[in-house]
A and B are shown apart, each in its own frame.
Chain A
Amino acid sequence: MRARLLIALLAMVLLPLGLLGWLGAWLVGSQERLVRQSFEELALAQLGDWRETIHAVVVERERRLLGSPELLGALRGDAEALRAYVRKNPLVTALLVLDPEGRLLHPPPFGPRTQQEDDFLLRAKPLLEDRSALVQPVGNPDLEGVDQGKDARDTRGAKDNLDTRSVTWGKDVVPGQQVEQQALAPPRPAPPAEAGPGRGWYVWYHGSDLALLFWQREPGGRVVGAELDRARLIVDLIGRLPAGAGEEPGDRPQAAYALLDARGEVLYRWGPYRPRGGEAPVARMALRAPLTAWQLTVYAPQSSLGGEGVRRTGWLTLGLGLLALALALGGLAWIFYREHTRGLRLAERRVSFVNQVSHELKTPLTNIRMYAELLAERLDEDDTDAGRYLGVVVAEGQRLGRLIDNVLTFGRHQRGALRLRFAPAVADEIVRRAVEGFRPALAERGVEIELALGAPEALGLDADALTQIVDNLLSNVEKYGAQGGRVRVATRQEGARLVLGVADQGPGIPAGDRERVFAPFERLQDALTEGVAGTGIGLAIVRELARLHGGDARVLPSERGAVFEVTLEGRLA
């Protein structure tokens, strides 16, 4: 009883707690994902801006590299003029000139070359071995020239026509490993002449990083290429990208950004956060052609990612909420439990009070009954009035005794202390004696008793319990079934089983109430029962005692009156 209560209370506290905890955890998790996602979106948008900034530098280079009057002047001169151009132009490390057939004009293939030019030729080996990238069969040189003129004026339009060749950096390439002059992707088929790849980027790997060459076909068919000074390009990119931590607005999440080269080495880094070595970036974005091998990355501490920070506050809030809820539910459960146990104790105290009182009543009652019976024996037979009075005293005494027995039996049952004492007895005798005891009272109510006894053999059963059963059933008849004028008490013996039937001719019990009558303190609210005194435990005791005997008590369906049938599983003597 108590254990079940405790389990129920625990469930009352733990179930909502668990449910809310699970919901909360799910919420915190999705919050985290949301924060991370929005951070990534923000970071990507930011990287996109910077990518465009970098692209603008490259586009500007395209404009400044080729078609500048300085270069055009140098191209009209000799090798020394071209060298002077390279010496003076900080954007360029080398110039390459091919004739319309793709033959090398500069650096001079046979004439004297500078060390720098030799280095360049070595570097540009992949390009020189596959010049088809630069020298395409041109349909109409004049048309080509027109296109180029247009391109030169409109770099934005030309940008889309750029034939940019680049090699993706293989994942199997270990950084630090010398990847010299890695093979280029097979040249794409020449686009139709009207698109005319009159200019473009040629990108290849040399040493550890990219080499970039911007080339352009002159109207005469000569191809002029300028190798970009990578160091200067990086300097300019660094100049365009934000400096340090200072430019970071305060409400922006703590993050670090980096520009990485083809090997994934940092070229430049900025932002207030300091990533650990080997920390994986939150988001990355490759640059636009021709720098597709380079990328921009964002690093952020777990805390600004909705990691640590949001997670910590999320879990803290959730934890505190759950704790508060647990306290409230626990308190409620405790109050409930206390009230419940207090009620139980009160009820127990009442029952034990009633029991004690009943015990106290039993002794004087026994004396009253004993002396009343003694007095009746001494009484003159003639003194009818006195005899009658004494009869009433004895009958009422018996009634009171039964009442007290019922209360005590019920009390024992409540305490779980009700035990039977089996002893060999003849059921018929017990029944007859009990019926005889009732006869005066029933007779007074005008009820005629019909006895049909069929259990004459001795059985192991509790005689007192059987007496109490019969008493209670007859008392029930006396209270509710007396108007029928007849009661039939029958016994039947089937082996060790005793079947006792008590049928009256009274108003009977409605079919729906046949079980309810056995519940303690249940009295059928009926016009007939109005004004009838009763404790409401008699039939409950009948059933309990029958069940203790391994039998049962029930109401049989009948056309008229109430028909009780009690079965007792006796023990064969």
Chain B
Amino acid sequence: MGVMNEPTNKEVLVMRNPWKTVAWSLSLALAFTLALGALGAAPALASGPAELKVAVSQPVLEAGKRQVAYLKVALVGTPLVVATARAPINLAIVIDRSGSMSGAKLEHAKDAAIQAVYKLGPQDIVSVVAYDHNVDVLLPATRASDKAEIARAIQRLYPGGSTALYGGVSRGSQEVRKFLAENQVNRVLLLSDGMANVGPSSVEALGMLGAALGKEGISVTTLGLGLGYNEDLMVQLARMSDGNHAFIEHPSQLAQIFQYEFGDLMSVVATDVEVQIACPRGVRPVRVLGRDAEVAGQIVSTRLSQLYGKQEKYILVEVEVDPQEAGARLELAKVAAAFTSAESRARVSLNSQAAVAFSASADEAQRSVDRDVTVAAVEMIANENNKRALALRDQGQVDQARSVLLGNERYLNDNAVRFGSDRLLKQGKMNRAASENLDETNWNKNRKGLRKMQYELDSQQSY
């Protein structure tokens, strides 16, 4: 299971019991009983396919005050050493063939899809679904051994009528479901350039669809092509199912995006990832920034469909900490993560925790600020502001939106200077650019770009 650097701070449980739920609660109980109090950020836990990192924005808090702290729970995929050890991919390529796709768009899409398919191995499964007003399965789920046959199926695409997006994704998921397994990357790759107009078409309905598919471990990556698609709907579908989202302004970029997506798919080191964060009394989870998570009292749960190698996926939990005396120590959270390793195909559990100390000295507290966690928190908070600005712009309140974006820029810049973060500086610039592009000219395009950026930050997408 890899090298264990800090044996005192972790438990590694390898379970092959399919009844994860039961085992999961057992392991959680075990984690609680065995957990050792530790000061500050828990060191990284290396465990084969992924590391679980838990850190607090400020490991030393001022005594005697009710304070807010950010807890960053990150999973970092370890790059696969041997490429063949990757999880098998079960992919449905769902292509919009509505009339608007005709010409260069469809041709580029075909080329990109065929190129990408040639990267797949014989252990992978692929299906091709095309939809206009109807939904057709051009290639039922099949082993990606005869690639020429798959290429032929993709070549059969011709442009048709309207856009039955819901049906297309449903059928795509149906093809994936035929060979659904836990230790593989189950993915629907949706490429659309238009508004859904046959079947359920609301952001809410597509979000529900994404959530339902996400529960099964099927992620939907949504590629929006051109300026005609509904970015809210595409982002929601990707978000609820933990897929990627991209805004592709020009069809010629399609090949590149397919490369990225397939790069992600092939770098998957773990699937079916569950994370549970339990806070003790005195620590109250307020909200979760970025990803969607379920907060029930003291327990925060979230799930990811997969972890990619070399990538960090994290959630930020804002917690309110009750006042404590100087010198006291408080455990902030116990974190348990479980996932299926792509390499060993076994269920792996990781546990960690975070704690804070209390000091009478405000200086000491300030000095303890964790740069990495705080930068992430700033990024997420700025992203929330950015979303608020977008909502204001959608309501036609352009000036308010502009002032929110400019305020956001200042906030990002201040923190960039404080922590010496180029990342925050770059985002500050993006917020300024966005504030200058709120007028009608190119708003459609800029909005798509913004939505894409927001989602990229929320989900820590690699491209």
Q: Which residues of B contact A85 (CB under 8 A)?
A: 21
Decide if B213 touches A235 in the complex (CB within 8 Å). Answer: yes
Say yes or no for A271: interface residue by CB 8 A criterion: yes
B208 touches A268 (CB 8 A): no
**A83 touching B161, Cβ below 8 Å:** no
Judge whether B208 and A117 touch: CB under 8 Å: no
**B134 & A244 in contact (Cβ 8 Å cutoff):** yes
Chain B residue with Cβ nearest A90: B215
Complex-state Cα separation, A267 to B165, whole angstroms? 11
The smallest beta-carbon distance between A559 and chain B, in angstroms, is 104
Contacts of B296 in A (CB 8 A): 79-80, 83, 112-114, 117
* Given known A-B contacts A80-B299, A83-B301, A90-B212, A268 and B170 have beta carbons under 8 A apart: yes
Q: What residues on A are CB-neighbors of B22 within 8 Å?
A: 73
**Segment of A216-224, A226-234, A417-425 engaged in the interface with chain B:** A226-234
- Chain B residues with CB under 8 Å of A265's CB are 200
Chain B nearest Cβ from A229, distance in angstroms? 5
Complex alpha-carbon distance, A117 and B213, angstroms: 19
Alpha-carbon separation in the docked complex, A285 to B135 (Å): 22
**Is there a chain B Cβ closer than 8 Å to A527's Cβ?**
no
C-alpha spacing A113/B299, complex, angstroms: 10
In the complex, whether B451 has a CB less than 8 A from a CB of chain A is no
Q: For B301, give its contact among A87, A112, A238 (CB under 8 Å).
A: A87
On chain A, the residues within 8 Å of B133 by CB distance are 269, 274
A395 at the A/B interface (Cβ < 8 Å)?
no
Q: Which residue of A lies closest to B137 (CB)?
A: A243
Q: In the complex, what residue of chain A is closest to B298 when comparing beta carbons?
A: A112
A224 to chain B, nearest CB (A): 17
Q: Which of A84, A116, A268 is close to B24, meaning CB atoms less than 8 Å apart?
A: A84
Q: How far is the CA of A18 from the CA of B301 in the complex (A)?
A: 83
Contact of A269 among B198, B216, B295 (CB under 8 A): B198
**Cβ of B174: which chain A residues have Cβ within 8 Å of it?**
235, 238-239
**B19-34 vs A, Cβ < 8 Å mask (1 yes, 0 no):** 1111011000000000
Give the most central of A73, A261, A274: most B CB within 10 Å: A274
B42 at the interface (CB under 8 A from A): no
Docked Cα-Cα span, A90 to B133, in Å, equals: 27
Q: Is B164 interfacial (CB 8 A cutoff)?
A: yes
Q: Which residue of chain A is the closest to B133 with respect to CB atoms?
A: A274
Question: Is B40 on the interface with A (CB-CB < 8 A)?
Answer: no
Contact (Cβ within 8 A) A74 B21: yes
With A and B bound together, what is the CA distance between A114 and B302 in angstroms?
A: 12
Q: Is the CB of A87 within 8 A of B294?
A: yes
Q: How far is the CB of A436 from chain B (nearest CB, A)?
A: 111
Q: Is the CB of A90 within 8 A of B297?
A: no
Query: How distant is A310 from chain B, measured CB to nearest CB, in Å?
Result: 26
Asked if B209 is at the interface (CB within 8 A of a chain A CB), the reply is yes
Contacting residues, chain B, for A80 (C-beta < 8 A): 25, 296, 299
Say yes or no for A70: interface residue by CB 8 A criterion.
yes
Report Cα–Cα, A268/B171, bound state, in Å: 11
Q: Which of A74, A80, A230 has its CB near the most chain B CB atoms (within 10 A)?
A: A80
Decide if B24 touches A235 in the complex (CB within 8 Å): no
- What is the number of residues of chain B that contact chain A, defined by CB distance less than 8 Å? 41
Task: Return the chain A residue nearest B292 by Cβ.
Answer: A115
CB neighbours (8 Å) of A88 from chain B are 20-21, 215
Tell me if A235 and B21 are in contact (CB < 8 A). no
User: Which residue of B is nearest A81, CB measured?
Assistant: B25
Question: Out of B24, B200, B212, which one reaches A229, CB within 8 Å?
Answer: B212
B residues in contact with A235, CB < 8 Å: 170, 173-174, 209, 212-213
Please name the residue on chain A nearest to B169 by beta carbon.
A235
From A70, A73, A232, A268, give the contact of B199 (CB < 8 A).
A268
With A231-B209, A267-B200 given, is the CB distance from A238 to B167 under 8 Å? yes
- A249 interface contact, C-beta 8 A: no
Residue numbers in A under 8 Å from B303 (CB-CB): 87
Chain A CB within 8 A of B205 CB? yes
Q: Give residues of chain A (52-106) contacting chain B, Cβ–Cβ below 8 Å.
A: 70, 73-74, 77, 79-81, 83-85, 87-90
Task: Give Cα distance in the complex from A21 to B174, angstroms.
Answer: 56
Cα–Cα distance between A268 and B298 once the two chains are bound (Å): 41
- Interface centre among A79, A116, A234, by most chain B C-beta atoms within 10 angstroms, is A234
Contact A269 B25 (CB under 8 A): no
Contact A269 B171 (CB under 8 A): no
Q: A73 CA to B211 CA in the complex, in Å?
A: 24
Tell me if B136 counts as interface (CB < 8 A to partner A). yes
- Report the bound CA distance from A116 to B22 in whole Å: 22
Q: Which single member of A70, A245, A271 contacts B21 (CB below 8 Å)? A: A70
Point out the residues of chain A lying under 8 angstroms from B24, CB to CB.
Answer: 84
Given contacts A83-B301, A116-B294, A266-B198, contact A90 B136 (CB under 8 A): no
Expressed in whole angstroms, the minimum distance between the Cβ of A235 and any Cβ of chain B is: 4
* CA of A85 to CA of B20, assembled, Å: 10
- Provide the residues of chain B in CB contact with A244, threshold 8 Å: 131, 134-137
Q: Mark A26-39, 1 if CB is under 8 A from B, else 0.
A: 00000000000000
Contacts of B25 in A (CB 8 A): 77, 80-81, 84
Partner of B134, one of A89, A114, A271: A271
Residues of A within 8 A of B170 (CB): 234-235, 238-239, 268
Chain A, residues 272-289, CB within 8 Å of chain B (1/0): the string is 101000000000000000
Contacts of A87 in B (CB 8 A): 215, 274, 294, 301, 303
Q: Are B294 and A114 in contact (CB under 8 A)?
A: yes
- Closest residue of chain A to B278 (Cβ to Cβ) is A80
B200 adjacent to A114 (CB under 8 Å): no
A416 at the interface (CB under 8 A from B): no
* Bound: A114/B20 CA distance, A: 21
* Complex Cα–Cα for A89 and B216 (A): 8
Shortest CB-to-CB span from B177 to chain A, Å, is 8
Q: A84 CA to B275 CA in the complex, in Å?
A: 11
User: A232–B21 contact, CB under 8 A?
Assistant: no
Chain A residues with CB under 8 A of B215: 87-90, 229, 232
A194 vs B298: C-alpha distance in the bound complex, in angstroms?
45
Cα A111 to Cα B299 with chains together (Å):
12
- Distance in Å: Cβ of B252 to nearest Cβ of chain A: 29
A90 to B208, CA, bound (A): 11
Please give the distance in Å from B219's CB to the nearest CB on chain A: 13
Asked whether B294 lies within 8 Å of A243 as measured between CB atoms, the reply is no
Give chain A residues whose Cβ lies under 8 Å from the Cβ of B135.
238, 243-244, 268, 270
Q: Is A246 an interface residue (CB 8 A)?
A: yes
Considering the chains assembled together, what is the distance between the CA atoms of A266 and B170 in angstroms? 14
Contact (A268, B209) CB under 8 Å given A77-B25, A80-B296, A84-B21: no
How far does the alpha carbon of A271 sit from the alpha carbon of B297 in the complex, in Å?
Answer: 50
Q: Is the CB of B171 within 8 A of A243?
A: yes
Within 8 A of A (CB), among B180-229: 198-200, 205, 208-209, 211-213, 215-216
A235 to B214, CA, bound (A): 13
| Least CB separation from A233: chain B residue | B212
- Smallest distance from the beta carbon of B296 to chain A beta carbons, Å? 4
Instruction: Knowing A235-B174, A269-B133 are in contact, say whether A83-B294 is a contact too (CB < 8 A).
Output: yes
| In the complex, chain A residues whose CB is within 8 Å of the CB of B294 | 83, 87, 114-116
For the complex with contacts A70-B21, A231-B211, A267-B199, 11 further pairs of A-B residues with Cβ separation under 8 Å are A73-B19, A73-B21, A80-B299, A87-B215, A115-B294, A229-B211, A234-B166, A235-B170, A245-B134, A268-B167, A274-B161
**B-to-A contact residues, CB < 8 Å:** 19-22, 24-25, 131, 133-137, 161, 164, 166-167, 170-171, 173-174, 177, 198-200, 205, 208-209, 211-213, 215-216, 274, 294-299, 301, 303
Of all A-B residue pairs in the complex, the 4 with the closest CB atoms, nearest first, are A112-B297, A244-B136, A239-B174, A232-B212
- 8 intermolecular pairs with C-beta atoms under 8 Å apart: A90-B216, A112-B299, A229-B212, A234-B200, A244-B135, A266-B199, A268-B135, A269-B167
